[in-house]
Amino acid sequence: EIEKVKMKSMRLVVMVVVVVALIGIEKEGPLRVAEGVCDSPLKNPPKKSCAQSWCIPACIQQHPGQLTSGKCDGPTCICSYICA
């Protein structure tokens, strides 16, 4: 009797795992695109020191159509954008 209960509970656990796995596959779809954040320094700032007011628009202009942000790291403007 105990063996039957163990088998039923094991079957239930296996079924739950399979259902969860299938739901995960359904959400992801057949192909996954790996995305990351890329950083690139901008060259030739107008002054020797970086200014946020210059850096952010310059990064948007450098990477049009992408989700882009810019930040100053010392004298260098670093553009961060989504890359595949």
- Put the strands of the sheet holding 36-42 in their side by side order: 36-42, 76-83, 68-73
* Host H or E run for residue 56: helix 52-62
Residue range 9-22, pLDDT digits in tens: 788 877 777 666 66
* pLDDT confidence of residue 19: 65
* pLDDT confidence of residue 35: 73
* pLDDT confidence of residue 20: 64
Q: Three-state SS for 74?
A: coil
Q: Residue 46 phi/psi, 5° resolution?
A: -65, -25
Q: Which residue has better confidence, 7 or 79?
A: 79
Mean pLDDT: which of 33-37, 41-45, 68-72 is highest? 68-72
Q: Three-state SS for 39?
A: strand
